[in-house]
Chains A and B, each alone.
Chain A
Amino acid sequence: MSAHHITTAEASLHTSESHHTHHHESFWTKYIFSQDHKTIAKQFLLTGFISGFIGILLSGIFRLQLAFPDKSFPFLETILGKWAPEGRLDPNFYMALVTMHGTILVFWLLTGGLSGTFANLLIPLQLGARDMASPFINMLSFHFFFWGTVVLMASFFVGTGPAGAGWTVYPPLSALPQAMPGSGLGMILWIIALVLFVVGVLMGGLNYITTVLNMRTKGMSPFRMPLVVWALFTVAVLGLLSFPPAVAAFVLLLFDHSLGTSFYLSDIYIAGQALPQQGGNVLLYLHLFWFLGHPEVYIVLLPALGITSELISTHARKPIFGYKVMVISILGIAFVSFIVWAHHMFVTGMNPLLGSIFTATTLLVAIPSAMKIFNYIFTLWKGDIHLNTPMLFGIGTVSFFISGGLTGFFLGVAPTDIPLHNTYFVVGHFHLVMGVSAVFAMFGGTYHWFPRLWGRMMNERLGYIHFWLTFVGANLVFFPMYYMGFGGVPRRYYAFTEFSFTSKWQDLNVFMTTAALITIAAQLIFIYNFFHSMFWGKPAPQNPWKATTLEWSAPVKHIHGNWPGNLPTVYRWPYDYSKPGAPVDFIPQYISDEDIARGVRWWEEDFDPSTVIDRREDTGGETAAVSVEPKPVPALSPNQKPPAPEA
């Protein structure tokens, strides 16, 4: 089955080997049209972070409006022009800000940025592959993502403003330019940007799946893959199954918007005119959108949890607790995520019987999620917790996942959702459970793999300051939203002044805005640290965190094909931390028991992994090893009970 893939892999190996010896690359081939997965990972990370920072700056502007609805901020007129006449934000532009904030953060930062970066970086490096299955499609994947970003950002400069119907862009509001200014050209650009984005995601996803299935190195059986690879693989499958219906929904929306069809429109009288469209229904759009929309939550969350598994296990120097349960939980969450979408629609007037069914399926998600949470905590139990920056962010992710996840019990159950639907309770819930928690995992992953990406370390102290300000700040911003939700305050309100039940919350809104602005300012520390370390950081050692996975066995300086000689062969699972009988508290996956017996000293600063990897002539290491059984070496296989430590 894999014969063809072998030849491709070999071919790419030969070309790359001849490349890295004498090939001279121009700026364009090296940084822009690169087909190297490590460079593409950097491209995704930078694009994701830059658009993400724009996204949170937008939230700073609309938070100002919520805290001080009656106050004029002249600087807003300076930067926004006609959208903030006399320093007061225009209500339509407020909606555009909210929409773009959601779109950018959900899709650009936490889908493109998060999966794109870490799947590209980690899948080939942790599985021992030279590159992705198709480096060319991989490059295209980033370029579609990038041009999607350009189109999306361009919509800020359109006369009628960017899309303003919320990140879910429900028609008819989004389909009728006469309903709000943002539904004009801005909406068309939004749809184009999203379609480009999805094409990029699908190309990336195809690559990730193929690479994981076909290009694992010798000995890398599925249950020896790190959990982050399991998560990224599952997410790629989720994306392939759920994004196409969403694209269909967006394209039909574009037809309704511009061509006069009536997929979603019916019986509409607007701006003094009865529209001819009849027979469509918005609920069709809602079903199609949430069929993506809910798996999308896990497309964001699963890579974050995968990264957290790596961070917690590595920095607690202890194997991840219940590896198989974790894998089953990932697959279970992925499966269940496809049958819960209508819990976003309990009060839309769909058949009430569906409300009962989706209540039952939704609550099922709690089971694998709780298993994961407790497994993280049990991994810390009896561990040796190094509280460095990546670990702080890893634990932060777990904490946010607890605070956010538990409130799902209110929203996933149809009756309690009735008063809470579309209130700030929802805003608080999803910001904590998938927003901040995934952002924290992304930060943690960046601090952890920065040496792998740029060959330099990030500054630890700035990392602590960044973590503590962000952790405290984010809690102070989002936790009070639960209170507002119990108060019934609706989301997407330009001001809370018009209703007596919403105007009670002004003091809390001022507090949340203050916390939000401080938290946003704290990100400047990260930006400084990130770019400063990129050029002037401390040079990274071969294996800075003393981790076991394969990415730390490749040379610090990036080369095409990742390993200068053979591909590493894998002899053990990825979590051999603090194994009894081992000389140090970690054994990398490419170290065999023979190597240990031979006295290989892999923990030393100047140890060169290629001395071990290239020593084996016989393995060749080049073949994709789908069907190849691992060598019958492991006396210390992961599933065995460890031998009792000798006193």
Chain B
Amino acid sequence: MARLSWLGAFSCGGLLWAQIGAAARARATEIALQEAATSSFDWNSFLWKIVWIETIAIIFLSIRLVQLVVRYTGYDPFADWDRDKVNMRLWLAVGLGGIALALWSGFKYASNFLPEAASAHGHAIDNLKNFTLSFTYPAFILVHLLLFYMIWRYYHGRSGGAVYELTHHGLERAVLIAITIPVLIIATWGIWVWSSPVHGQVAQANQRTVEFEAVAEQFQWRVRYPGPDGKLGRYHYKLIGGENVLGLDFTDPRAQDDILPPVKEIHLPVGAQVTIQVRSKDVLHSLYLPHFRTHVYAVPGQPNQVKFVPLYTTKEMRRKLRDPEFDYELACNQLCGGAHYNMRMKVVVETWEEYQQWLSQFKPAYTPPSSVASHKKTQTL
């Protein structure tokens, strides 16, 4: 009886609701067509609003209907559900499905990961990363499988009562050892890798060295290459102003030949040891060269320095990745304000000759004092 009335109520309610819905849709279409004929009324978005309201109303009314039917008939369609069994099955379905999804999507999106490191120390970092991944990914899956097994095997419907077990020294010891070994390996390896590129990256015999300066400001990068003397000149932040965007101190002869290429590009010679002096004019920024696995903050008042060796030219990398559009990029990766997302600079790695040729087309930023009055300003400061 209860079951019948439940069915009856549900089907009546369903029919009624379908009627109301159809009528509302018809009326809405009518209005919309009228409006469309007479004015520029956006009947498309109007219809969408109706659909949304209807969907929400259907959800709430259905819940209410179920509640009312349960209350007045006393029949509860879910009363026979075994809570533990249903949830146990959901855990297995969601859990195993989730692991499968993680594996599938991992392979699918691996092509979007950063490509092979384009710097010498980047390979050491990637090797460590891959080793860590080869430990954490199986651990992620195995520990989850263990968890799902416990749920499947010992849920209330199958367990037949818990066992009063306080601890098990062997197991605890096994876990302790199982976690300590990877911790020791990864820590040792990590410290070794960290110490080699940062402390010990010494230029090899006959290796060319290049040093330049990258200066961050809201919201762009500026680069300063040393002139023929190979040295960057002095600067002071109080000298910034007018044309002297980096605050160079032109009383220093080393600064007089420095070059500020007026393009949004950094050029690097392949195989040379590159040293970047990083500083900031205003707030924290960071020099992020993801393809070179190089990253350091640009701190106002604290010049930082970072070294690496680019291994592949842009052309080689394009060929490797089969992507003729590929470019190395420099990004800011420390929040610096509204346009933080837009501090891009293209990085071009090329042969030594191409690099020399590129650099030679620019004139030094300094103009001799006789021609420009701004020098006076520099002098007084």
Residues of A that sit less than 8 Å from B by CB: 90-92, 94-95, 165-166, 170-173, 176, 179-180, 265-270, 272, 274, 278-283, 316-319, 321-325, 347-349, 352, 355-356, 359-360, 363-364, 366-367, 370-371, 373-375, 377-378, 380-388, 392, 395, 398-399, 402-403, 406-407, 409-410, 413-416, 418-419, 421-423, 460-461, 464, 468, 471-472, 475, 479-480, 483, 486-488, 490, 492-496, 498-502, 504-505, 508, 577-580, 585, 638-639, 642
Task: Please report the C-alpha to C-alpha distance between residue A72 and residue B299 in the assembled complex, in whole angstroms.
Answer: 36
Q: Report yes or no: A282 in contact with B102, Cβ–Cβ below 8 A.
A: no
- Separation in Å of the A67 CB from the closest CB of chain B? 15
> What are 13 contact pairs spanning A and B, CB under 8 A?
A267-B237, A269-B247, A352-B194, A356-B194, A383-B150, A385-B154, A387-B91, A399-B147, A406-B140, A415-B190, A422-B333, A501-B290, A642-B166
Q: Report yes or no: A179 in contact with B218, Cβ–Cβ below 8 A.
A: yes
B150: chain A residues within 8 A (beta carbon)? 377, 380-381, 383, 385
Which chain B residues numbered 168 to 192 have a C-beta less than 8 Å away from chain A?
A: 168, 171-172, 175-176, 178-180, 182-183, 186-187, 190-191
Residue of A165, A377, A642 with highest tally of chain B CB at under 10 A: A377
In the complex, residue of chain A having the shortest beta-carbon distance to the beta carbon of B165: A382
Q: Apart from A378-B171, A578-B164, A585-B162, what 5 extra A-B contacts exist at CB < 8 Å?
A: A381-B150, A472-B94, A490-B333, A585-B161, A642-B166
A407: chain B residues within 8 A (beta carbon)? 136
B339: chain A residues within 8 A (beta carbon)? 91, 494
B361: chain A residues within 8 A (beta carbon)? none
In the complex, residue of chain A having the shortest beta-carbon distance to the beta carbon of B137: A406
Q: Report yes or no: B151 in contact with A387, Cβ–Cβ below 8 A.
A: yes
A398: chain B residues within 8 A (beta carbon)? 147
- Separation in Å of the B111 CB from the closest CB of chain A? 9
B168: chain A residues within 8 A (beta carbon)? 321-322, 378
Task: Please report the C-alpha to C-alpha distance between residue A91 and residue B327 in the assembled complex, in whole angstroms.
Answer: 26
Task: Please report the C-alpha to C-alpha distance between residue A464 and residue B88 in the assembled complex, in whole angstroms.
Answer: 12
A90: chain B residues within 8 A (beta carbon)? 338
Which chain B residues numbered 208 to 224 have a C-beta less than 8 Å away from chain A?
A: 217-218
- Separation in Å of the B123 CB from the closest CB of chain A? 11
Task: Please report the C-alpha to C-alpha distance between residue A136 and residue B149 in the assembled complex, in whole angstroms.
Answer: 49
Q: Report yes or no: A409 in contact with B135, Cβ–Cβ below 8 A.
A: yes
For residue B288, CB closer than 8 A to chain A, the reply is: yes
Task: Please report the C-alpha to C-alpha distance between residue A496 and residue B331 in the assembled complex, in whole angstroms.
Answer: 12
Task: Please report the C-alpha to C-alpha distance between residue A180 and residue B160 in the assembled complex, in whole angstroms.
Answer: 63
Q: Report yes or no: B166 in contact with A487, Cβ–Cβ below 8 A.
A: no
Q: Report yes or no: B140 in contact with A419, Cβ–Cβ below 8 A.
A: no
For residue B348, CB closer than 8 A to chain A, the reply is: no
Residues of B that sit less than 8 Å from A by CB: 78, 83-84, 87-88, 90-91, 94-95, 98, 102, 105-106, 109, 112-114, 122, 124-125, 128-129, 132-133, 135-136, 139-140, 143-144, 146-147, 150-151, 154-156, 159-168, 171-172, 175-176, 178-180, 182-183, 186-187, 190-191, 193-195, 197-199, 217-218, 237-238, 240-241, 247, 278, 281-284, 286, 288, 290-291, 293-297, 299-302, 304, 325-327, 329, 331-342, 344
Q: Report yes or no: B290 in contact with A281, Cβ–Cβ below 8 A.
A: no
Given contacts A387-B84, A387-B156, A493-B341, contact A480 B105 (CB under 8 A): yes
Q: Report yes or no: B164 in contact with A580, Cβ–Cβ below 8 A.
A: yes
Among A171, A267, A490, A639, point to the contact of B288 (Cβ < 8 A). Answer: A490
- Separation in Å of the A228 CB from the closest CB of chain B? 18
Residue of A269, A282, A381, A580 with highest tally of chain B CB at under 10 A: A269
Q: Report yes or no: B167 in contact with A360, Cβ–Cβ below 8 A.
A: no
- Separation in Å of the A323 CB from the closest CB of chain B? 7
B334: chain A residues within 8 A (beta carbon)? 170, 422
Q: Report yes or no: A274 in contact with B162, Cβ–Cβ below 8 A.
A: no
Q: Shortest 5 CB-CB distances between A and B: which pairs?
A: A266-B301, A488-B290, A413-B190, A387-B87, A349-B304
Among A283, A374, A496, A577, point to the contact of B302 (Cβ < 8 A). Answer: A283
Q: Report yes or no: B295 in contact with A392, Cβ–Cβ below 8 A.
A: no
Q: Report yes or no: B194 in contact with A359, Cβ–Cβ below 8 A.
A: yes
Task: Please report the C-alpha to C-alpha distance between residue A90 and residue B341 in the assembled complex, in whole angstroms.
Answer: 13
Task: Please report the C-alpha to C-alpha distance between residue A366 and residue B124 in the assembled complex, in whole angstroms.
Answer: 23
B155: chain A residues within 8 A (beta carbon)? 385, 387
B90: chain A residues within 8 A (beta carbon)? 468
- Separation in Å of the B134 CB from the closest CB of chain A? 11
Q: Report yes or no: B167 in contact with A325, Cβ–Cβ below 8 A.
A: yes
Q: Report yes or no: A325 in contact with B341, Cβ–Cβ below 8 A.
A: no
Q: Report yes or no: B335 in contact with A165, Cβ–Cβ below 8 A.
A: yes
A492: chain B residues within 8 A (beta carbon)? 335, 340-341
B166: chain A residues within 8 A (beta carbon)? 319, 321-323, 638-639, 642
Q: Report yes or no: A406 in contact with B136, Cβ–Cβ below 8 A.
A: yes
Given contacts A268-B300, A383-B154, A501-B329, contact A483 B109 (CB under 8 A): yes
Task: Please report the C-alpha to C-alpha distance between residue A137 and residue B172 in the assembled complex, in whole angstroms.
Answer: 42
In the complex, residue of chain B having the shortest beta-carbon distance to the beta carbon of A175: B283
Task: Please report the C-alpha to C-alpha distance between residue A283 and residue B301 in the assembled complex, in whole angstroms.
Answer: 10
Q: Report yes or no: B340 in contact with A500, Cβ–Cβ below 8 A.
A: no
Q: Report yes or no: A383 in contact with B162, Cβ–Cβ below 8 A.
A: yes
In the complex, residue of chain B having the shortest beta-carbon distance to the beta carbon of A485: B113
- Separation in Å of the B344 CB from the closest CB of chain A? 5
In the complex, residue of chain B having the shortest beta-carbon distance to the beta carbon of A370: B179
Given contacts A415-B190, A471-B94, contact A494 B167 (CB under 8 A): no
- Separation in Å of the A187 CB from the closest CB of chain B? 13
Q: Report yes or no: A269 in contact with B237, Cβ–Cβ below 8 A.
A: yes
Task: Please report the C-alpha to C-alpha distance between residue A143 and residue B151 in the assembled complex, in whole angstroms.
Answer: 43
